[in-house]
Amino acid sequence: DASLAQADPEVAEYVDRELRRQQETLEMIASENFASVAAMQAQGSVLTNKYAEGYPGRRYYGGCENVDVIEQLAIDRIKGLFGAEFANVQPHSGAQANAAAMQALIKPGDTILGLSLAHGGHLTHGMRINYSGLLYDVAAYEVSKEDYRIDMDEVSRMARQHQPKLIIAGWSAYPRHLDFARFREIADEVGAYLMVDMAHFAGLVATGLHPSPVPHAHVVTSTTHKTLGGPRGGIILSNDAAIAKKINSAVFPGQQGGPLEHVIAAKAVAFKMAGDPAFVDRAERTLLGARLLAERWVQADVADAGIKVLTGGTDVHLVLVDLRDSELDGKAAEDRLHSVGITVNRNAVPFDPRPPMVTSGLRIGTPALATRGFDARDFVEVADIIAEALKAPVGELDPALAASLRDRVAALAARNPLYPHLVSGAVD
């Protein structure tokens, strides 16, 4: 019964270091967030020990009386949150949710139509060496060269040309709303299913601050750890009873064995919290923060340094920074922000001339900072810190500038403490 620190000081030390890294730096990776202490407690519980193949009330193992209640709570809460008739909360991740949803709807060899990875789509939407590209015939739509937005007439043209069995709407790097009603219209025209992958913006949908795909799509998939703020995991929603049945079989036994009931418990906690007024406030600050970043960066002094905001702004929790006209590439920009205590990820922009390991873009998101309490003033300050870092000449940052930016980052972190009551005893 030794503690982690006693049983495994090496792992404990790096868990402790990671806690401090999260507390002391500013997390602006758009797909990340901070789960609540309550959700982490549920995930770190004895539920990790339980096998529960099957679904609540229909298990292949005995002793499921407690996990049945917990999984049913998760199901009922997520259905309520999104107004869906059916939910499966077992997918281990967003990628597994997508794999199961596709397995439920189409057959290997069928054609799928999704947003190109290079233009903001996800690996599971048809990337060549992902399961989705290996199992299915892939056609991909792109954003328009003129305004970097998805052109629905082009989606319609592609759908008529390729006759997909499944159309996927959703993204990992796209700063605007999607027209779910039009996607459904196009799907109906060609006899395809519509799957919306709302992994990135699910938390905004839950609060009514983003249009909901649920009334339009045959199936909606999501992760639970991005804007939704829960543990790492996936979910699948639908309003169609026949599809729901196929989804349950596709998740188990189709894709997975035993569900992770400890993660499902943490999902249940997160879904409860997502229904609280405090979560709406968080989602509002998430959106406000992204809007403020974009507003600061479209100003002349930043734009003159070759730093552009793709589409000129954002409707969601992230901003795509376009560095094609800057001497600083995506890799150098990511490293420079890391050196002052801000974590972002480089990201190819559409029509990117630089190679994928370098890129000409940054994807910068606000969910994690909103969770730790950032308000408008804090977001303006972090926008200005980032602009100053990116505007400086290529090469090493001037040491005095770097030191002053690091101090400003530390002040923001101190003003918005993260997990203030979590103290690891790892290195005692």
Helix (H, G, I), strand (E, B) or coil at 58: strand
As measured in angstroms, the least distance from the Cβ of 303 to ligand PLP is 28
User: DSSP character for 358?
Assistant: T
Look at residues 118, 129, 125 and name the one whose alpha carbon lies nearest to residue 98: 125
Q: Give catalytic status of residue 282 as yes or no.
A: no
Question: Which position among 81, 95, 135, 158 is part of the footprint of ligand PLP (CB under 6 A)?
Answer: 95
What the block records as the tokens of 370 is 């909103």
For residue 68, the minimal CB distance to ligand PLP (Å) is 25
Q: Judged by CB under 6 A, does residue 33 bind ligand PLP? A: no
**Shortest Å distance, C-beta 408 to ligand PLP:** 30
Peptide bond before residue 9 is cis, with ω within 30 degrees of 0:
no
Binding-site member from 88, 130, 132, 172 for ligand PLP (CB under 6 A): 172
Say whether residue 93 binds ligand PLP (CB under 6 A): yes
**Closer residue to ligand PLP in complex, CB, 55/171:** 171
Q: Stretches 89-97, 323-331, 363-371, 407-415: which one binds ligand PLP (CB under 6 A)?
A: 89-97
Residue 197 touches ligand PLP, criterion: CB under 6 A: yes
162 is in an annotated binding site: no
- Evaluated on CA atoms 76, 80, 86, 91, the torsion sign reads negative
138, 199, 316, 418: which one contacts ligand PLP (CB under 6 A)? 199
Q: Which of 54, 170, 203, 361 binds ligand PLP (CB under 6 A)?
A: 170
Q: Which is nearer to ligand PLP, 127 or 328 (CB)?
A: 127
> 119, 122, 267, 363: which one contacts ligand PLP (CB under 6 A)?
122
Contact indicator for 251, 229 with CB cutoff of 8 Å: no
**Least distance to ligand PLP, CB of residue 170, Å:** 5
Does position 43 interact with ligand PLP (CB under 6 A)? The reply is no
Give buried/exposed letters for 336-374 (b at 16+ CB in 10 A, else e). bbeebbbbbbbbbbbebebeeeebbbbbbbbbbbbbbeb
Find the binder of ligand PLP among 25, 31, 227, 345 (CB under 6 A).
Answer: 31
SS3 70: helix
> SS3 for 375-412, per residue?
CHHHHHHHHHHHHHHHHCCCCCCCHHHHHHHHHHHHHH
Angle at 144 between CA 142 and CA 145, to 5 degrees: 115
**Nearest partner of 64 among 50, 49, 44, judged by Cα:** 50
Q: Characterize the bridge pairing of strands 193-197 and 219-223.
A: parallel
Is 415 known to be catalytic? Answer: no
Does the active-site annotation cover 324?
A: no
Question: For the residues of 99-110, what is the DSSP string, one character each?
Answer: HHHHHHH--TT-
Of 149 and 408, the one with the shorter C-beta distance to ligand PLP is 149
- Residue 123 marked in a binding site: yes
Shortest Cβ 406–ligand PLP spacing (Å): 29
Active-site residue (options: 182, 232, 324, 408): 232
Q: Does the active-site annotation cover 223?
A: yes
The residue from 16, 25, 34, 94 that contacts ligand PLP (CB under 6 A) is: 94
Pick 199 or 337: Cβ nearer ligand PLP = 199
Other Cβ atoms closer than 10 A to 327: 11
418 annotated ligand-binding residue: no
* Residue 193: other Cβ atoms inside 10 A: 24
Does 117 count as an annotated binding residue?
yes
Interface with ligand PLP: number of residues (CB under 6 A): 16
Tally the residues of the chain: 428
Cβ neighbors of 360 (< 8 A, separation 6 or more) are 322, 323, 324, 326, 329, 330, 348, 349, 352, 353, 354
Using CA atoms, how far apart are residues 338 and 341, in angstroms rounded to an integer?
A: 5
Residue closer to ligand PLP by CB (options 234, 361) is: 234
Nearer to ligand PLP, 232 or 408 (CB): 232
Residue 39 Cβ vs ligand PLP, minimum distance, rounded to whole Å: 16
Q: Which of 27, 197, 261, 334 is flagged as catalytic?
A: 197
Residue 223 touching ligand PLP (CB under 6 A)? yes
- Report d(CA 296, CA 311) in Å as an integer: 14
Q: Is 51 a catalytic residue?
A: yes
DSSP 8-state secondary structure symbol assigned to residue 143: B
Has 157 been annotated as catalytic?
A: no
- Residues in touch with ligand PLP (CB under 6 A): 31, 93-95, 98, 122, 124, 170-172, 197, 199-200, 223, 232, 234
Binding-site residues from annotation: 117, 121-123
Binding-site residues from annotation for (6S)-5,6,7,8-tetrahydrofolate: 117, 121-123
Show which residues are catalytic: 51, 53, 197, 223, 226, 232
